A = this chain, B = another copy of it.
Amino acid sequence: MTKKVLIIGAVALGPKVACRLRRLDPDAEITLLDRDNLISYGGCGIPYYVGGDINDLEDLYSTSAHVLRDKLFFENCKGVHVRTEVEALSIDRKNKKVTVKNLLDNSEEQLEYDKLVLATGANPCRPPFPGTDLDNVFMLASLHEAERLKALMTRGEVGKAVVIGGGAIGVEICEAMQDLWGIETTLIEMEDQVLPTLMGKCIARVVKSHLEEKGVKVLIDEKVNQISTATTIDTLWVETSNTVIEADVVILATGVRPNTTLAAEAGLALGNFGGLSVDKRMRTSDPDIYAGGDCVELCHLISGENMLMSLGSLANRQGRIIATNIAGGNSHFDGTVGTFCMKVFDLGIGKAGLTFRQAKETGYDPVYAVISQSDHAHFYPHSELLFISLIADKKSRKILGVEAAGKHGDAVKARIDTVAVLLKHGVTVDDICNIETGYAPPYASAMDAVNNAGNALDNILAGRNFPIDSYDFIEQFRHGKTKVLDTRGTREAAPFIEKYPAQWLNIPQNELRLRIDEIPGDQLLYLICDTGPRSYETQVFLAAQGLNNTRNIQGGFAMVKMTDPTFI
């Protein structure tokens, strides 16, 4: 008997299930439904369409061979039946039927299924303050809204923009508007850092500085009270607790919420965060109904807790698994470590696992190291610095997370991914010290930055490296009570001595053994060099001489400069 498979939602996971299932089961009757008329698109490409890196909206729903992924394509090339502009209203689980409404003529009908797949995704959260429904306040939840925003900019109608929400989408949209269009953009985030659920404070601080360097005004720790407009003009006013900002457009990027109304009404089990509960085979509490993508909760493999994780990459992997299982296979999705990367202007950043804060909340006792190192051999031209933060549990030495930033995005991704794929294997700091990655001067150092992040953390855990991170250093240094011992050459140190005469002491590393008497033993000394190794070596040397009053600035001056470009 022909199997009837109905898939609700046709953006990422839905089409993946449909196409894979067709290849596994030539006889199944596969139907994809979607409310929209545009389907099977790269939603993560929206900021690049808005920003102009991608010219045509169609590129987001074309194949790599430039064929439009429309109804006809699915019908003729994939053997999959597609119905667009159709909304699923209810699921009758007992009789295995879904009631749908045709959005063009409001007619209703019932569709039968043997297996149902819910790929209903997530909806953007509308924040609770007034004014979010005004004209020119965008959510960017669909290609249509992206098209409308781009049209406004193309016509030159946008001079100023406010982006509310400093998560990944908010940050990407800032780049899209500021970079190509030169729009005066303000980013407002209510937490005390950008990317609050994604990055720890060190890399988040680097991102903030980079956004500011590129002209984006970034307000953190700032709550929006309302968006308003005068009746006669189009200008919007974004009012926060501290200020009022004028804008031609406002983008709401305040997170997403799983779209589970249909599932909940059908009595399917939800998790603590409002996503659908699924087992490792991606089945809901009804074994004939599968779900995946942004509408489900996933197990975080480091925290052990269920969570929401809206990533197109995970949706695609889950889609393949669902198809395999519907076709009678047995394929598992174990969970996620939240591997993620993004581009912020000239910076590539990435992360996997937990941030320091998340690790603490989970009950770990986290310790972290931050290092700066060339991505390629330092003697090879075209190297850029990589900044890596590695987090482990103090007692078990288990790696909990990794974050990185750098100007060569592919090189950042290489380091993040390498640690990311190991996380679920429960690796320790020692494994990272010895991680075996490819080395050639054009692409890496013999002791790669990832290894050295492990080495630094190993030294911190061994009590040899007493670190302070660049952000804390800057805060404390600005309060003026502490001194820096700069182990770089005289020339590198000169401008700092001039700027901070009372607080900056310079003894180049090669003179340290001779000039040890000049080092004050009675006050806290922050040790600095270019990227960290010499200040660490100095710290170890001073400790052997009985001087334990030092803190080693993690990542050296390179990291200080990334954290606060105004430091010098």
Contact = CB atoms under 8 A, between A and B. Distances in A.
A516 interface: no
A126 interface: no
Given A314-B436, A436-B314, A488-B65, A343 B417 contact: no
A489 B438 contact: no
Interface in A494-550: 509-513, 529-531, 534, 536-537, 540-541, 544
Contacts of A19: 537
A328 interface: no
A437 B311 CA distance: 11
Contact of A417 (B313, B348, B417): B417
A552 interface: no
A506 to B, nearest CB: 14
Contacts of A433: 317, 320
The complex is assembled from copies of this chain, and their number is 2
B438 A339 contact: yes
Interface in A417-442: 417-418, 420-422, 424-425, 430, 433-442
Query: In the complex, which range does the number of interface residues on chain A fall in?
Result: 35 or more
Contacts of A444: 313, 341, 413
Nearest to A16: B447
A341 B377 CA distance: 13
B438 A77 contact: no
A462 to B, nearest CB: 9
B413 A44 contact: no
A42 B379 contact: yes
Nearest to A448: B313
A62 B447 contact: no
Interface string A31-65: 00000000000101100100001100001101111
Contacts of A489: 65
A378 interface: yes
B337 A65 contact: no
A76 interface: yes
A438 B416 contact: yes
Contacts of A511: 76
Contacts of A488: 65
Interface in A294-341: 311-317, 320-321, 331, 333-334, 336-337, 339-341
28 contacts: A12-B446, A16-B447, A42-B379, A44-B440, A44-B446, A45-B379, A65-B534, A73-B510, A76-B511, A77-B509, A77-B512, A77-B537, A79-B541, A313-B438, A317-B447, A320-B455, A321-B434, A340-B440, A341-B444, A351-B438, A413-B438, A413-B444, A414-B417, A417-B417, A417-B437, A420-B436, A421-B437, A422-B425
Interface of A: 12, 16, 19, 23-24, 26, 42, 44-45, 48, 53-54, 59-60, 62-65, 67, 72-73, 76-79, 311-317, 320-321, 331, 333-334, 336-337, 339-343, 348, 350-352, 374-375, 377-381, 408-411, 413-414, 416-418, 420-422, 424-425, 430, 433-444, 446-448, 451, 455, 464, 488-489, 509-513, 529-531, 534, 536-537, 540-541, 544
Given A77-B534, A313-B436, A421-B436, 16 more contacts: A16-B447, A23-B464, A23-B537, A42-B441, A67-B510, A73-B510, A78-B537, A312-B446, A313-B439, A321-B434, A343-B440, A348-B443, A350-B438, A375-B410, A420-B438, A424-B436
